[in-house]
Structure 1
Amino acid sequence: MSSPTISVRIQAMRFEAQGVVSVELRAPEGGELPPFEAGAHVDLHLPNGIVRSYSLSNPPTERHRYVVGVLNDRNSRGGSRYVHEQLRVGATIAISAPRNNFPLDESAAHSVLIAGGIGITPISCMYGRLGRQGKSVELFYCARSRKEAAFTAELLGQPGVSSHFDDEAGAPPDLRGFLASRPKDAHFYCCGPTPMLNAFESICEELGLPNVHIERFAAEKVAPVQSGSYVAELARSKTSVTVPAGKSLLDALLDAGVNVDHSCREGVCGACETRVLEGELDHRDGVLSKSERAAGKSMMVCVSGCKGQRLVLDI
């Protein structure tokens, strides 16, 4: 089954930077929206039939609204382009309840937040949350240029906030040097474009940093390509479903009458995360970290599959 949705009104849209708008969402009749935590996102079910996930940037204490930041992606497949070109104030759309694949550990002695471009949306929420609690936190905000960096007026100049703009510095940020100079027991968070996240994960692994958290904008492999068939055994249901070549595990389960929560179908929202009991997984999502993938305890059934002949799911 698809995830249940909430009806919201577009209360305001604001130009935040070149190619970036913020969208404020409120309940049509007023009142409170479901609670959320720093790092959470909502799925926007756009009127053109596309579902996209966007991080919440406003404080979790604000129960009367959600605010998301949307980059007009040059490679948009219809989501961000629709938001920028056709979505208008006053329109009513459906959204998911907030989900959090990028949770903040508020007990950390020190938190290091790194944002690349539009990755500032969840990171700014985290920074504000920790700051209001009087926690030790620093934010490193990176972008190709200052004019493409959203929320700079609110963030730059705040305690613990530093920035790097490629066009002004004449080079990309020195992530290795930055990370190596921070306390090893800190919690490190990064959200940004794929090359930055890959570099961040690699450097953290080399430095032996134990507390590393990332959030990706998109799955690394978009299409759920499966070269061969396999059998998915459903442990609790005591049934099995054959997944033919070229078909996603989610579609095979749905076609067999198995109710599976899902939303984006692109491996980024986390709605379809399913516990795995056995099987060699072919991860194709943008949610799980390297360590979570290696553990093989869960998968996003909308895009990920099985490398072997048999998969056992906790369904």
Structure 2
Amino acid sequence: MPKPLTLALVTGAALLTRRALRRRVRTSPLWPLPALDPPVSGRPRSRALRLRLAAHETIADGVVQLRLAGAGLPRWEPGAHVDLVLPSGLVRQYSLCGDPGDTSCYTVATRLVADGRGGSREVHERLAEGMELEVRGPRNRFPLVDAPAYVFVAGGIGITPLLPMLRALPEGTAWRLLYGGRTRASMPYLEEVRALAGDRATVVADDEDGRVDLPALFAGIPEGTAVYCCGPDGLAAAVAEALPGTATLHLERFAPPAAAGGDTAFELELRRSGRTLTVPAGSTVLAAVRRELPDLAYSCEQGFCGTCQQRVLEGEIDHRDELLTDAERQNSMLICVSRARSDRLVLDM
């Protein structure tokens, strides 16, 4: 283990193109995953649970932890998340960070985003112990793969999907962790990280330390090392840029990459419904479709969860999600974020 590094989370790095990033990401899971429910039109997804909010507690500055209690809950593997349906109807995705073997409750944590879309504020300010909430999932698009060694990089609340991975690593596994945040007081699960990782962890707060030397972090890692990163865009881009060619990157973002701009309107045909629509430059395929099919199932609106995945029959797709594999991109898209490169797109719906 190299000597501790000093860092601040990188915030201004240029993002790699989606195509370049996808070439460096491996998605093969260590464990067989259950088949996801197929995309649906006009009906809710299955596997919804009604769970009781057994605990709602502050665990760091601006971070609350929720413990959602039930009985005989579906098992999950490290990296999995659930969809939480809030009382307002908003649906938000949260990584499971508790014990995968505990079928009596799910544990998640979320940071308050004051200028966000309202979901985190509702979780922090409106949820109360004893409430019953709808929970969908779990689903896993960020699984822990088998590798000769691991490097984990977490930015703030990005520690949540990585924490169960650290607990699951077999004794003798070679790994190290880089965990950064704005302040130590704002970093959830810091004491547990220290207990789990010992001197394999470099824990740094922005207000105390300097810029990270990512090449030094990756220096000397074995060929085939799996690098897991969860955090803001600047950190994700910097890790991807510094990644050695012999390592594989497994990335989970807080938000989808920003669009390149220059969007134009295009024609959208819904083949089975017999309808032809126009998707304006400043709107989404999902918004256009829901005006015609208001019961269409959707969830995150950020290209993460896969609920709105639809089959494409004709047209060239501009993929902007962080979820689909290269094979899935050949004939499907997530209509909440992706658009058409061609003047016309035909969906099987």
Identify the TM-score tier after normalising by the shorter chain.
0.7 to 0.9
Tell me the SS of whatever aligns to 1:196. helix
Alignment match, 2:203: 164
Alignment match, 1:186: 225
Tell me the SS of whatever aligns to 2:179. strand
2:323 to 274, 284, 288: 288
Alignment match, 1:20: 63
C-alpha deviation, 1:175, in angstroms: 2.1
Task: Tell me if 1:3 matches 2:37.
Answer: no
Identity of aligned residues (%): 36
C-alpha deviation, 1:135, in angstroms: 3.9
Moved more, 149-158 or 165-174: 165-174
C-alpha deviation, 1:12, in angstroms: 0.7
Counterparts of residues 1-315 of structure 1 (less than 5 Å): 1-4=43-46, 5-27=48-70, 31-105=71-145, 107-131=146-170, 135-159=173-197, 161-167=200-206, 169-204=208-243, 207-221=244-258, 227-232=264-269, 241-245=276-280, 246-254=282-290, 261-274=297-310, 276=312, 279-285=315-321, 287-288=322-323, 292=326, 298-311=332-345
Q: What does the per-residue CA deviation read over 1:235-275, in whole Å, with 9 as the maximum and x for residues that have no partner? A: xx596754432553234445555986422223232322345
C-alpha deviation, 1:226, in angstroms: 5.3
C-alpha deviation, 1:277, in angstroms: 6.4
CA separation of 1:225/1:268 partners in 2, compared to 1, >3 Å: closer, same or farther? Answer: farther
The answer (yes or no) to whether the contact 2:319–2:339 under 8 Å persists in 1 is yes
Counterpart Cα distance in 2 of 1:208 and 1:110: 15
What are the ranges of 5 or more consecutive residues in structure 1 without an aligned counterpart?
none
The answer (yes or no) to whether the contact 2:166–2:196 under 8 Å persists in 1 is no
Counterpart Cα distance in 2 of 1:257 and 1:82: 27
> How big is the alpha-carbon RMSD for the aligned residues of Structure 1 and Structure 2?
3.1
The answer (yes or no) to whether the contact 1:282–1:305 under 8 Å persists in 2 is yes
C-alpha deviation, 1:276, in angstroms: 4.9
Counterpart Cα distance in 1 of 2:57 and 2:294: 42
**What amino acid does structure 1 have at the position aligned with 2:187?**
A
How does the TM-score come out when normalised to structure 2?
0.76
Tell me the SS of whatever aligns to 2:138. coil
The answer (yes or no) to whether the contact 1:10–1:91 under 8 Å persists in 2 is yes
CA separation of 1:262/1:294 partners in 2, compared to 1, >3 Å: closer, same or farther? Answer: closer
What are the ranges of 5 or more consecutive residues in structure 2 without an aligned counterpart?
1-42
Q: What does the per-residue CA deviation read over 1:85-142, in whole Å, with 9 as the maximum and x for residues that have no partner? A: 121111111121111121211x2222221111000000101111224x7644332212
C-alpha deviation, 1:188, in angstroms: 0.9
The answer (yes or no) to whether the contact 1:230–1:308 under 8 Å persists in 2 is no
The answer (yes or no) to whether the contact 1:21–1:69 under 8 Å persists in 2 is yes
The answer (yes or no) to whether the contact 1:233–1:310 under 8 Å persists in 2 is no
Tell me the SS of whatever aligns to 1:215. strand
CA separation of 1:219/1:159 partners in 2, compared to 1, >3 Å: closer, same or farther? Answer: closer
